[in-house]
Amino acid sequence: MVAKKSIKFIAVLILCSITAFASDEKNNHKGNKIDSPTEIKEYIKHHLKDSHDFHLFTNNETGTHVSFSLPVIVWTNNGLKTFMSSAFHHDDNGEVIVDQGDTRLVKLHSKIYELDNGASTVSFDEHHHPTNAHKVLDFSITKSVFGMLLAGLLMLLGFGALARGYKKGKVIPTGFSRVLEPLVLYVRDEIARPNIGEKKYKKFMSFLLTVFFFIWILNLLGLTPLGFNVTGQIAVTVCLALFTMVIYMFSGSKDFWAHTLWMPGVPVILRPILALIELVGFIVIKPFSLLVRLFANMTAGHFVVMSLIALMITMKEAFGPVASTGMSLVLALFISVIEILVAFLQAFIFTMLSSLFIGMAVEEHDHH
């Protein structure tokens, strides 16, 4: 109990220490509420993107943003630069230039650009692309990375406690661990075992369990008002799918490669064509289906929930404030409940398909 309390205390302390309440007077929409459809669209689009600070809310009347600033770590032409994201003063239009000695950086549409040598302001072409600045490799602790770290921390705490319980000799876990144990059993008995096979599933359990809970927790975090959209970042889902692909490509059995590259039982002429199809299937199509499914589901979910919440503003003219708010509330609640299901479902499907593909790769045929 003491250990648990101290961990909670430290977590709160860390959160407080990185909190920076920044107030910024240079706001474009000063005195302007976000109430037009274009603004709402922009707002949702902005939310779906990753961001460099942890934005909680903005008071447009006074132009006050309340947010955590997060560390920015970028690899520029002049080496590694680190500073806090508060240096951008919540600017996202490339107007605030952060001077890091020999490098000038701007933030534009949630991306950090490095200005070319000699340039002092960003100039744009007709598609609003910067002409005198280029993107940098951005290893920042963005909101998504922060979400991942948070999910990882939660997993380590929760499942670490479960593991410690067993180590202490408890056969039946108590407290919150009792909730976690059936989930672990579920992944093992319903996902890994039937798809990979009794003999080989153990090797892949660490990956499958980690990915399942990682995705699930991140999906659920996305439903909180904190507004994480980690599993809706294409880079994240690409990475997850690539992990699956690398794992099943490197653990393929002899039979798997024999069947993939030189399919027995079909005419020899067809075999190279089949090999090509199979290889493309395993290297491109299967990971692509994994990454797109997760990305699209989560992005769509966030989009729909936010749009429904925005109904209360967009429909105010047509139905009046009470009706539009009520409608928005009911619909948003309904979709949120579905999203809770989807959060689990997408984690389940990703893990399920991963273990299915792994199962295909490690399968050994004893006939022929």
Binding flag, residue 255, another protein (CB under 8 A): no
Task: Give 238 or 261: the residue with its C-beta nearer to another protein.
Answer: 238
Helices H, strands E: what count in the chain?
12, 10
DSSP element (H, E) containing 64: strand 64-69
Burial classification of residue 29, based on how many CB atoms lie within 10 Å of its CB (0-12 exposed, 13-18 middle, 19 or more buried): exposed
- Please identify which residue in 238, 249, 258, 338 interacts with another protein, judged by CB under 8 A: 238
Task: Give 79 or 160: the residue with its C-beta nearer to another protein.
Answer: 160
Binding flag, residue 162, another protein (CB under 8 A): yes
CA angle 9, 10, 14 (to 5 degrees): 120
- Please identify which residue in 142, 219, 244, 324 interacts with another protein, judged by CB under 8 A: 142
Instruction: Identify whether the C-beta of residue 348 lies closer than 8 Å to the C-beta of residue 183.
Output: no
Amino acid symbol at 73: I
> Would you tell me how many other CB atoms lie within 10 Å of the CB of residue 178?
12
Give the shortest CB-231-to-another protein separation in angstroms: 10
Residues 205-234 that bind another protein (CB under 8 A): 205-207, 209-211, 214, 233-234
Rounded distance between C-alpha atoms, residue 246 and residue 239, angstroms: 10
Residues 91-120 that bind another protein (CB under 8 A): 111
Q: In terms of DSSP H, where are the helices of 251-319?
A: 254-261, 270-280, 286-314, 316-319
Binding flag, residue 159, another protein (CB under 8 A): yes
- Please identify which residue in 38, 120, 126, 167 interacts with another protein, judged by CB under 8 A: 167
Instruction: Identify whether the C-beta of residue 125 lies closer than 8 Å to the C-beta of residue 131.
Output: yes
CA angle 348, 350, 356 (to 5 degrees): 100
Give the shortest CB-138-to-another protein separation in angstroms: 4
Burial classification of residue 291, based on how many CB atoms lie within 10 Å of its CB (0-12 exposed, 13-18 middle, 19 or more buried): buried
Rounded distance between C-alpha atoms, residue 330 and residue 323, angstroms: 11
Binding flag, residue 163, another protein (CB under 8 A): yes
Give the shortest CB-347-to-another protein separation in angstroms: 14
Binding flag, residue 156, another protein (CB under 8 A): yes
- Please identify which residue in 243, 303, 319, 348 interacts with another protein, judged by CB under 8 A: 243
Binding flag, residue 155, another protein (CB under 8 A): yes
Contact track, another protein, 38-77, x by CB under 8 A: -----------xx-----------------------x---
Task: Give 291 or 310: the residue with its C-beta nearer to another protein.
Answer: 291
Give the shortest CB-354-to-another protein separation in angstroms: 13
- Please identify which residue in 8, 128, 202, 365 interacts with another protein, judged by CB under 8 A: 202
The DSSP 8-state label assigned to residue 127 in this structure reads: T
Q: Residue 105 pairs with which residues in a beta bridge?
A: 98, 114
Tokens, residue 109 = 């549409």
**What residues make contact with another protein under the rule CB under 8 A?**
49-50, 74, 111, 137-142, 144-145, 148-149, 152, 155-156, 159-160, 162-164, 166-167, 171, 181, 184-185, 188, 202, 205-207, 209-211, 214, 233-236, 238-240, 242-243
